[in-house]
Amino acid sequence: MPTGKPHVSVFIATSLDGFIARPDGGLDWLERANADVPPGEDCGYQAFMASVDVLVMGRLTYEKVLSFGEWPYAGKRVIVLSSRKQVRPAPYPEVVESSNESPRQLLARLHAEGCRHVYLDGGLTIQGFLREGLVDELTITSIPILLGSGRPLFGPLSTDIPFRLQASRSFAFGFVQNTYRRSTS
Amino acid sequence: MPTGKPHVSVFIATSLDGFIARPDGGLDWLERANADVPPGEDCGYQAFMASVDVLVMGRLTYEKVLSFGEWPYAGKRVIVLSSRKQVRPAPYPEVVESSNESPRQLLARLHAEGCRHVYLDGGLTIQGFLREGLVDELTITSIPILLGSGRPLFGPLSTDIPFRLQASRSFAFGFVQNTYRRSTS
């Protein structure tokens, strides 16, 4: 692992069977679960976001976010990983850049630019960074539903990756949120 | 769902990516994790077992348990689901029966026999009962490691299955144990 790189965090919700979306990308199950969350409770999302310098996401996730209509990352630098030269412009184009760098190249550049904390989003992007051993922290919020199929958070690895449990909390509405740090042992 | 059936519980450990064993059935990762568990801590296993009348497991899981050398279920009635007429005799043959009944048939018979609480074990068996809507309670202990591949706890479903969070606790050695009940809403 490079000695100089930003801290890389994942902050994501999954079904009990480990899916982040239905096979077609659908999030209806998550939206329905969120409807039970009391107003003002964001399960730590804003505090997490406040600590983040740069969002890095795959193109599929980016397109999904664009489809929400409202751009949720105003004022935050966003990098979309894509092999295409151009990605669709965001409502706030000044903060969205595309990149076709490798995970390692991108993190080295961001480190050189002074970035300290990257928020990594999107299943395939997270899987790619995990395979390279570049993810430092996982915050996973488990939603109490089995979907049976969908887009998995995790994918194949060439080796085990041990983590340390950093924090665990449950919510009255049934979510459980665990934060894991990459184990150094 | 039949009105008369035993309460059906799952009590199982998985990796963070939802595997209960490596592709070849290996549990080395779980045994290594268990080595960090302080003596006397069993994460609720004995209390759970004390509430169980009958263990129901698939043949693969049964063969795996036999391979441990020590029979861990002494004094407990065990039913092995198998399409074969005979399964390998256990060290305590008097408590091991085989059955090729469907999940529904088996539960109806056990109910008629006065069984109140079934402990269901083995990935494929659990998946089969879940698909039939016959699992009432899931206690899942998450081990802080990504394996990348293996035998998954969960499988395809024809419909979502919502659960309610019943209990959640974390342990200093990094396990998180959540109990979910089948949601009636």
What's the structural domain count of chain A?
Answer: 1
The reply to whether A46 falls in a domain is yes
Q: Which domain holds residue A61?
A: 7-182
Chains A–B, number of C-beta pairs less than 8 Å apart: 103
Beta bridge partners of A178: A140, A168
- Could you give the CA distance from residue A114 to residue B141 in angstroms, rounded to a whole number? 39
Q: Is there a domain that residue B169 lies in?
A: yes
Give the whole-angstrom CA distance, residue B23 versus residue B9. Answer: 24
The mean predicted confidence, pLDDT, of chain B is 92
> A46-104, pLDDT tens digit by residue?
999 999 999 999 988 888 888 888 888 888 999 999 887 666 776 665 568 889 999 99
CA separation for the pair B76, B143 (Å, rounded) = 27
Question: Does any domain span residue A84?
Answer: yes
Q: Are A127 and A143 in contact (CB under 8 A)?
A: no
Residues from chain A contacting residue B142 (CB–CB below 8 Å): 178
* A160 in Cβ contact with A185 (< 8 Å): no
Contact B82, B56 (CB under 8 A): no
Interatomic CA distance for residues A101 and B20, integer angstroms: 35
pLDDT at B94: 58
pLDDT tens, position by position, B95-144:
688 899 999 999 999 999 999 999 999 999 999 999 999 999 999 999 99
Q: Three-state SS for B146? A: strand
Query: Which residue, B103, B109, B94, B105, is CA-closest to B122?
Result: B103
Q: Which residues contact A24 (CB under 8 A, 6 or more apart)?
A: none
Kindly tell me if the per-residue pLDDT of B60 is higher than 90: no
> Which pLDDT belongs to residue A2?
47
Rounded percentage of chain B residues whose pLDDT exceeds 70: 92
Residues of A in Cβ contact (< 8 Å) with B162: 144-146
In a domain, B40, yes or no: no
What per-residue confidence (pLDDT) applies to B90?
Answer: 67
For B12, the 3-state DSSP assignment is strand
Kindly report the number of other CB atoms within 10 A of residue A158's CB atom: 10
Q: Residue for token digits 């894991």?
A: A180
Helix axes A59-67, A123-131, angle to 10 degrees: 150
Asked if residue A69 is part of any domain, the answer here is: yes
pLDDT of residue B93: 60
Q: Residue B2 — pLDDT band, cuts 50, 70, 90?
A: very low
Round to whole Å and give the CA distance between B56 and B81.
7
| B155/A148 Cβ within 8 A | yes
Name the minimum distance, in Å, from the CA of B182 to any CA of chain A. Answer: 9
Residue B85 predicted with pLDDT over 80: no
Predicted local distance difference test score (pLDDT) of residue B71: 84
Residue B20, H or E segment? strand B19-21
Considering only residues A172 and A87, tell me which one the structure prediction assigns the higher pLDDT: A172
**Is 80 exceeded by the pLDDT of residue A148?**
yes
Give the domain CATH number at B148: 3.40.430.10
Instruction: Examine residue A66 and state whether it is found in any structural domain, yes or no.
Output: yes
Q: What pLDDT, on the 0 to 100 scale, is given for residue A95?
A: 67
pLDDT in the model for residue A84? 72
**pLDDT value of residue A107:** 97
More confident residue, B73 or B154: B154
In a domain, B99, yes or no: yes
Residues of B at the A interface, defined by Cβ within 8 angstroms = 16-18, 29, 130, 138, 140, 142, 144-149, 153-165, 168, 170, 174-176, 178, 180, 183
Burial classification of residue A64, based on how many CB atoms lie within 10 Å of its CB (0-12 exposed, 13-18 middle, 19 or more buried) = middle
Between CA A16 and CA A14 the distance in angstroms is 6
pLDDT at B82 (0 to 100): 87
pLDDT, mean over chain A: 92
- Indicate whether A2 belongs to any domain: no
Please, which residues bridge with residue A168 across strands?
A: A178
